[in-house]
Amino acid sequence: MSMVIKELADLDPSERHKGIRDLIEKVDAMGEVAHIDGADWNLEVGALVEMVCHESREGKAPALLFDNIKGYPKGFRIFSGATNSSRRLAYALGFEEPDGPMDVVRAYRDRMHGDFKLIPPKVVNGGDLMENIDRDDDVDLTKFPAPFLHEKDGGRYIGTDVIVTTRDPDSDWVNSATYRVMMHDEKTCGIWMSPGKHGRLIREKYFARGEPCPVTISLGHDPLLFMAANHEIDYGTDEFAYAGGHRGRPYEVVNSELHGLPMPADAEIVLEGEMYGDELKSEGPFGEFMGYYASDASDEPVIKIRRVYHRNNPILCVASPAKPPTSVTFGRTIVKGAMIWDEVEKAGVPGVKGVWCHEAGASRLWNVIAIEQMYPGHAKQAAMMAANCHAGNYAGRWVIVVDDDIDPTNMFDVAWAMSTRCDPPNDIDYIHNAWSTPLDPLLTGPPYQNNRAIVDACKPWGRKDSFPETTETSPEFKAKMRKKYPALFG
Ligand SMILES: Cc1cc2nc3c(=O)[nH]c(=O)nc-3n(C[C@H](O)[C@H](O)[C@H](O)COP(=O)(O)O)c2cc1C
C-alpha cells in the first residue's frame, strides 16, 4: 500500500490527478474509499458521512462514494472526505507517503517556506464541465441529489464542499471561498457568509451600488481547490492561483457565459447567477462546524441561478459540518497547522517545532504550538502570534504553547504539560473582542466578537534548565526492552 502513494507522489506535476474523478480513482486504488449503493439523500447520506468519522477517528475514516442514490439515475454520485486522511491529503498535495500527520504538516510548511509561488489559472475554450449546459427556463437544481444532512436543518444543502467565486468590482481580484448554499427551489438558492469573509466584503460593494453580485458556485472539483477555498488565504489573493501553486501547474478554467467568472474546466457541476441584496429569504438553520445550531434561520440574499454546467454522470462533493470530527476536520487540522506555523515564522518568531489545531476544536478553537524556548518572552510571543495571524484568528478560543518535548498532536501530552507546567493565574492571558462568528454557541448577538485564552504551558523561562526532570525511561533503554520482550509490545 505504501508503495502506491510513493510512486504517485513521484509523478511529474503534469501527470498528477486532474479533477475529483481522477483523484477518486487514485485514492480508491490505495484502499481509501468505501462505496455505498442505494442510500437516500434524505438524512442517510448525512448520517453515514458523520458516523464513519465519529466511529473511526483521527483521519482513519475512508472517503465515501455514493451511487444509485434514491430517486436519482445511476451515475449521479456524491463524494465526501477526499483529503481527510494523512495519506489522501499527502497524495493530493504531491507529498511522499507520510509516517504520521505531523509529516504532512511539516511538508506543507516547508513548501510554503521554500519556493512556493502562486500559479495563476489558464483560460481555455472548453472542458468536460461543458458537456451539459442548462439555461434559464431549463435550470432545475433538483436534478442533483442535494442531501438533507441533519434532522434539524432548514433544507437541502446543495453546496457544502463548495467553491463560491466572485470578482471584486474595484479590481481584477477573483475570490473563491466555501460558504454553505441551501436550495430554495429549482432555480434559487440561499447562501450564508460570516461577517468579515472576503466574499461577503466583495458582495457588499455590489449591494452598496444597488447592483446584484455575480457569482459561480462549483459543486464538484479538485480537493486542492476546495482546500484553498476554505482556508484563510490573504485578502486579494486568487485561490485558483494558490491551489495552482500547490498543484505545480495552472488550473485550466472556462469563463462562465454570463459573467465571465472562471470555472474549473474539469469541474463536475457549476452554477451561475447573481446574489440579490434586495431579495431575501429564510436560510438555515444548519448544523455547523462547532457542533451546534448556534444561529437560527435568518433572511439572506437570494441567488438566482441562470446557468447550470455539468459533466455527464456528475459527482456532487459533500462536506457535512457537525459536532467534530467530521469529513473535513482532519485534513483541515493539518493544513491549518502548517499555515499558522508558516505565518508565525514569517512574522519573525524562531524556534517553532510544530503546530496542531486539534479536531476537537473543529480545527480552529484548540490550537497548540510547540517551541524550543530561546529567550524570555518567546513562548508568549509565539502563542500571541498563533492566535492573531490570519490563518489562526477567525473563531479561535484556546492557544496553548508547549515546549518541544511535547508532541502537539498528542492531547494527553498537552494536557500533561498544562497540568504540570502552567500556573493558571500567571500563565493564562486573555484576548478580548476578537474576530468570531454567529456560529459560536457562546455568542448571543452582534457584533459576534469572542474572547480567548493564551495558555503558556512551557517550563517557566527562568527555571527552564533547573525544572524537575521528567520521569520516563530513556528511549535507548525502551528500545532495548522492546527487543528483549517483543511479545509484550507486539
Ligand atoms: C465545509 C466548510 C463549510 C464552510 N461554510 C462556511 C459558511 O457557510 N460561511 C462562511 O462564512 N464560512 C464557511 N466556511 C469557512 C470559510 O470557507 C473560510 O473561512 C474561508 O477562508 C473563507 O474564504 P474567504 O477568506 O475568501 O472569505 C466553511 C468552511 C468549511 C471547511
Q: How far is CA 97 from the centre of its chain?
A: 21
Pick from 174, 178, 293 the residue to mutate for probing ligand 1's pocket: most ligand atoms within 8 Å of its CB. Answer: 178
**Cβ 400 vs Cβ 436: under 8 Å:** no
The answer to whether residue 2 scores a pLDDT higher than 50 is no
Phi, psi for residue 449 in degrees, rounded to 5:
-100, 145
Phi, psi for residue 13 in degrees, rounded to 5:
-50, -35
Nearest CA owner, ligand 1 atom 16: 230
Q: Can you identify the CATH homologous superfamily of domain 122-317?
A: Electron Transport, Fmn-binding Protein; Chain A (2.30.110.10)
Amino acid at residue number 408: P
Assign 19 to helix, strand or coil: coil
DSSP 388-409: HSHHHHTT--EEEEEETTS-TT
**Cβ 312 vs Cβ 179: under 8 Å:** no
Pairing status of strand 449-456 against strand 428-435: antiparallel
Query: Among residues of the chain, what percentage have pLDDT more than 90?
Result: 94
- Asked, colleague to colleague, whether 122-317 and 347-463 share their fold, the answer is no
Nearest CA owner, ligand 1 atom 5: 179
E strands along 110-224, which residues?
122-123, 132-135, 157-159, 163-167, 174-177, 181-183, 188-191, 213-220
Query: What's the CA-to-centroid distance between 39 and ligand 1, angstroms?
Result: 27
Q: Which CATH architecture has domain 347-463?
A: 3-Layer(aba) Sandwich (3.40)
- Give me the residue spans of the domains in the chain: 2-111, 122-317, 347-463
Query: What's the CA-to-centroid distance between 435 and ligand 1, angstroms?
Result: 14
Nearest CA owner, ligand 1 atom 6: 179
Nearest CA owner, ligand 1 atom 12: 179
State the closest ligand 1 atom to the C-alpha of 321, by its place in the atom list counted from 1.
1
Segment 82-98 shows an average pLDDT of 95
Pick from 179, 191, 204 the residue to mutate for probing ligand 1's pocket: most ligand atoms within 8 Å of its CB. Answer: 179
pLDDT of residue 85: 96
Closest by CA to 148, choosing from 163, 160, 138, is 160
Nearest CA owner, ligand 1 atom 23: 177
**Cβ 355 vs Cβ 344: under 8 Å:** yes
pLDDT per residue over 320-366, tens digit each? Answer: 999 999 999 999 999 999 999 999 999 999 999 999 999 999 999 99
Segment 423-433 shows an average pLDDT of 98
E strands along 184-264, which residues?
188-191, 213-220, 252-255, 262-264
pLDDT of residue 58: 87
Cell numbers describing residue 80: 465526501
Query: Among residues of the chain, what percentage have pLDDT more than 70?
Result: 98
State the closest ligand 1 atom to the C-alpha of 394, by its place in the atom list counted from 1.
19
The chain-wide mean pLDDT, for the chain, equals 96
Residues flanking ligand 1, CB < 6 Å:
160, 175, 177-180, 192-194, 197-199, 230-232, 319, 321, 328, 394
pLDDT class of 3 with cuts at 50, 70, 90: very low
The answer to whether residue 215 scores a pLDDT higher than 70 is yes
Closest by CA to 397, choosing from 353, 446, 352, 430, is 430
Tell the burial category of 95 from Cβ atoms under 10 Å away from its Cβ (0-12, 13-18, 19+). Answer: buried
Nearest CA owner, ligand 1 atom 18: 230
Query: What's the CA-to-centroid distance between 224 and ligand 1, angstroms?
Result: 15
Please list the residues that pair with 159 across neighbouring strands: 181
pLDDT per residue over 134-162, tens digit each? Answer: 999 999 999 999 999 999 999 999 999 99
pLDDT per residue over 216-248, tens digit each? Answer: 999 999 999 999 999 999 999 999 999 999 999
Query: What's the CA-to-centroid distance between 192 and ligand 1, angstroms?
Result: 9
Query: What's the CA-to-centroid distance between 177 and ligand 1, angstroms?
Result: 6
How far, in Å, CA of 402 to CA of 214, rounded?
Answer: 46
Query: What's the CA-to-centroid distance between 427 and ligand 1, angstroms?
Result: 32
State the closest ligand 1 atom to the C-alpha of 286, by its place in the atom list counted from 1.
8
How far, in Å, CA of 148 to CA of 153, rounded?
Answer: 7
